[in-house]
Amino acid sequence: MKRYSGFKLLAVDDNEHNLFTLRSLVHKHMDVEILEATSGRQALELARANPDVDLIILDVQMPEMDGFETARMLKIHKKTRGIPVIFLTAAFKTEEFQQKGYDVGGVDYLLKPIDDNQLLNKISTYFRLIEKERELNRVLEQKVAERTAELHQANQHLENILRYMGEALLILDPEGCIKQVNPAACDMLGYEQQELTGMSIGDVFEEEGQEQANAFMGLWLEALIRAGALRDIEAAFIAKDGTRVPILFSRTALVDQQGEIDEIICIAKNMSGYCRVDEESSAHATGD
């Protein structure tokens, strides 16, 4: 049964008889499309016009542009540089010429006369390698597509959580500048998202003075470095219109591979309307 349907081979030889012999041999055993060129320049034109060529069998001894120069030109152009080239020659048999063939980009250097089976095996070897590479690429592309879809779904799920969560979420850089907020934070503070982005967390916290705010930030970062998280802190935001918003505040530090703080995740629950009950009031209420 013939194989390699869909593959395309470019045969280059200035001798029409050699092209006929090669064409007849390949077509007898393989279902391969064959393009033919009788000169190096024609080979370059065909290769550029047919970037889906899978393999080139190239004669070395040709007038005007020999096989070495043709191969060198093929490797220069982006469309053709990846096509494997097999040199096939009856004249340039020395080791020096064989090395030159490899130097200009040939993957194999075959000498005439060559046994038909040996030539077919060489062609088959490269076609099998191409098949395996294509299958590997197909599998990789499929996995990338599946992974991309999974990440998109996960990101969409996360975005929905952040969009619809009731608590305010603020993501800060290590200096306390706001990098990202969710809609609940905008609603709580009365700012648009682009207004909050770039502000300092101290700009929306209730602080009596800049010195106290700076001290607060310093203690906060030290505590984050030591513990990694601070939870359920009673504090207050100051909204854009000056309204005081009591909150229950939690902060978590995310560190990089060097152990340095990379981002700070802040979550604030609006405590407006909640009545604070201290231990003494609770004791009186229960009669203890």
- Cβ contact 270:245 at 8 Å: yes
Confidence of residue 212 (pLDDT cuts 50, 70, 90): very low
User: The whole model's pTM is what?
Assistant: 0.56
* Residue 185 predicted with pLDDT over 90: yes
Nearest partner of 221 among 288, 267, 176, 271, judged by Cα: 176
* Residue 281 predicted with pLDDT over 60: no
Per-residue pLDDT at 209: 47
Q: Quick: pLDDT tens for 84-124.
A: 999 988 877 788 888 999 999 899 998 888 889 999 999 99
Cβ-Cβ contacts under 8 Å for 13 (sequence gap 6 or more): 19, 22, 38, 59, 62, 88
Per-residue pLDDT at 48: 93
* Integer Cα distance of 152 and 141 in angstroms: 16
Element (H, E) at 7: none
Q: Quick: pLDDT tens for 108-119.
A: 998 888 889 999
* Integer Cα distance of 182 and 187 in angstroms: 9
- Cβ contact 219:212 at 8 Å: no
CATH class of 8-139: alpha beta
In CATH, which of 3.30.420.40, 3.40.50.300, 3.30.450.20, 3.40.50.2300 is domain 165-279?
3.30.450.20
Q: Quick: pLDDT tens for 19-77.
A: 999 999 999 999 999 999 999 999 999 999 998 999 999 999 898 899 999 999 999 98
- State mean pLDDT over 135-146: 93
DSSP codes joined into one string, 181-192: E-HHHHHHHT--
Domain chopping of the chain, boundaries = 8-139, 165-279
Nearest partner of 188 among 171, 176, 170, 175, judged by Cα: 170
Instruction: Tell me which DSSP letter residue 62 carries.
Output: -
